[in-house]
Amino acid sequence: MSFPPLYIIAMPHAPAKDRQLVLTIGIALLILLLSFGGVWLYLQYAKKLRTQTNYLSLPSIAISRDGHSIRAGIAIRTSGEDANWASRNQQAFEHVMKRALMEADPKKLRSEAGIVAMQESLRDAGNDALGHGKVREVLLTDLLISEGDL
């Protein structure tokens, strides 16, 4: 059994210009697809950061004033985008929160409404001193109020 020569069976080759055009279009489509994929991934990451919640815990702050002592544990809630900003400004937050606690009325802090008002006051003090609305909430995690010095 004899087979015909291969050059007779082989399909005719496309001209070099056509192959180069197909290759160029393929590369352009691949680059376009990768670009759209990269943008989509970046947008998903940015959305995650905006919705993510971050807490910065400050060391316990203790103050004594007018025969009253207050010791408070404080956590500052920010968005994921502002987490690094909050960490870099931790010492400034400690100073601002200490100053705000010095201005607090210990008698008002003994009620639930007083604690809520204090948390709002701490949030406003943090935003006024350090950021433009970056502090979402300030939580008093531990609060000890006593007569006399700590």
C-alpha 17/C-alpha 15 separation (Å) is 5
The pTM is what?
A: 0.65
pLDDT for 95:
94
Per-residue pLDDT of the chain (150 residues; tens, 9 = 90+): 666 555 555 555 656 677 888 889 999 999 999 999 999 999 998 888 777 888 999 999 999 888 888 999 999 999 888 888 989 999 999 999 999 999 888 888 888 898 999 999 999 999 998 877 889 999 999 989 888 655
C-alpha 117/C-alpha 109 separation (Å) is 8
- Give the phi and the psi of residue 134 in degrees, each rounded to 5: -80, -25
The DSSP string of 35-92 is HHHHHHHHHHHHHHHHH-EEEEEEEEEEEEETTEEEEEEEEEEEEGGGHHHHHHTHHH
